């Protein structure tokens, strides 16, 4: 029997206050805890961190819009229990600890000469030294999303989430390989090795950086800055002055470039797809049917983007 997937109860609940505060540094020693979700480290216009649900995800999301859209998370594979805490320690690390004080996640991995942390307005959380050199930044460790101003260097990748409501690593990978080729792969879940490539730029030897620029174009360029492959062309010219932009490798294996108007001015306020890669829907993902098992079913050439009504074959086992 086929049925249309319905997403179960959302996993993550978020603190919903939309607060525009001025940019401020996060000083060493400051912390956030799960028991006080009204505390966060804000950027001037849109990002804050920490969440709540059946566990806590230390995350950065767009704060100035109704949907608390996550763009980055620290502990995507193991949610932090209630009573956890994230602290910018006095010895120079950003540390997430569980209620027993056990370290769950920390960056940088080694002690650095940190002076402060800052949630920047482009969505990048940076840890900086006293000379303002960046010791660590979330933009260099993307999860499944990139934002304007962000660059993927060789050997950087995006890994999709497991499902719409589960941010654990999923079944697809978008990687700029060390050989310069930019590839979308199916991951041999639950193992992490990649299997089939379903989209490639064939840029071995020349691909160097994937850039998401402020005009909302996403492209692959070579070392000399020559454009090799336009991944998302912003034909509508929706700049990051007027629109929030994000590009995400979603759980269904499609890399989508979304925009959201910064001011309503008559538009419907929701994320809309500007571009998706590949253009043909590569796979259909079956949803959790309650027993915990998730089934994966290949359906080639399903046609154009059909994320809203993913067809699930409930009789595959």
Q: Which residues bind ligand NAG (CB under 6 A)?
A: 11, 13, 20, 23-25, 37, 44-45, 52, 54, 64, 79, 115-116, 132, 162, 166, 168, 206, 213-215, 217, 219, 222-224, 226-227, 263
Q: Which residues make Cβ contacts (< 8 Å) with residue 192, sequence separation at least 6?
A: 169
Token pair for 140: 């260099």
CB of residue 221 to ligand NAG, shortest distance in Å: 8
For ligand NAG, the closer CB: 132 or 134: 132
CB of residue 227 to ligand NAG, shortest distance in Å: 5
CB of residue 206 to ligand NAG, shortest distance in Å: 5
CB of residue 199 to ligand NAG, shortest distance in Å: 20
CB of residue 303 to ligand NAG, shortest distance in Å: 28
CB neighbours of residue 110 within 10 Å: 9
Residues 59 and 48: their CA atoms lie apart, in Å, by 8
For ligand NAG, the closer CB: 1 or 316: 316
Long-range (24+ apart) CB contacts under 8 A made by 184-188 are 184/249, 184/253, 184/255, 184/277, 184/278, 184/282, 186/253, 186/283, 187/159
Residues 149 and 61: their CA atoms lie apart, in Å, by 16
For ligand NAG, the closer CB: 198 or 295: 295
For ligand NAG, the closer CB: 95 or 115: 115
For ligand NAG, the closer CB: 4 or 230: 230
* Residues 204 and 179: beta-carbon distance below 8 Å: yes
Positive or negative CA dihedral for 31, 37, 39, 44? positive
* Residues 55 and 79: beta-carbon distance below 8 Å: yes
For ligand NAG, the closer CB: 178 or 304: 178
Residues 157 and 161: their CA atoms lie apart, in Å, by 13
Residues 96 and 74: their CA atoms lie apart, in Å, by 9
CB of residue 62 to ligand NAG, shortest distance in Å: 10
For ligand NAG, the closer CB: 184 or 231: 231
Residues in the chain: 317
Residues 14 and 71: their CA atoms lie apart, in Å, by 14
CB of residue 272 to ligand NAG, shortest distance in Å: 16
For ligand NAG, the closer CB: 28 or 302: 28
Residues 301 and 161: their CA atoms lie apart, in Å, by 22
CB of residue 14 to ligand NAG, shortest distance in Å: 8
């Amino acid at each position: 029997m086929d049925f249309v997937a319905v997403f179960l109860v959302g996993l993550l609940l978020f603190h919903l206050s939309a607060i525009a505060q001025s940019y401020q540094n996060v000083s060493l020693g400051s912390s956030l805890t799960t028991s006080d979700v009204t505390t966060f480290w804000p950027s001037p216009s849109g990002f804050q961190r920490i969440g709540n649900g059946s566990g806590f995800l230390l995350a950065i999301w767009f704060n100035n819009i109704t949907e608390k859209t996550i763009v980055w998370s620290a502990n995507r594979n193991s949610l932090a229990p209630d009573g956890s805490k994230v602290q910018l320690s006095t010895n120079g690390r950003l540390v997430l600890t569980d209620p027993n004080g056990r370290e769950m996640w920390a960056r940088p991995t080694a002690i650095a000469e940190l002076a402060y942390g800052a949630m920047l307005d482009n969505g990048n959380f940076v840890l900086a030294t006293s000379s303002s050199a960046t010791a660590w930044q979330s933009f260099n460790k993307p999860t499944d999303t990139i934002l304007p101003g962000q660059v993927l260097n060789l050997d950087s990748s995006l890994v999709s989430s497991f499902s719409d409501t589960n941010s654990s690593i999923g079944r697809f990978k978008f990687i700029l390989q060390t050989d310069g080729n930019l590839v979308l792969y199916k991951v041999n879940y639950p193992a992490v090795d990649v299997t089939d490539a379903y989209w490639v730029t064939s840029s071995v030897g020349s691909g160097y950086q994937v850039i998401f620029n402020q005009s909302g174009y996403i492209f692959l360029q070579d070392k000399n800055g020559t454009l090799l492959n336009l991944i998302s062309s912003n034909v509508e010219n929706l700049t990051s002055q007027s629109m929030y932009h994000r590009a995400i490798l979603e759980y269904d294996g499609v890399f989508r470039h979304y925009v959201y108007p910064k001011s309503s001015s008559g538009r419907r306020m929701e994320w809309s797809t500007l571009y998706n890669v590949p253009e043909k829907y590569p796979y259909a993902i079956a949803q959790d049917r309650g027993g915990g098992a998730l089934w994966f079913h290949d359906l080639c050439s399903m046609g154009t983007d059909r994320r809203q009504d993913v067809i699930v074959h409930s009789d595959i086992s």
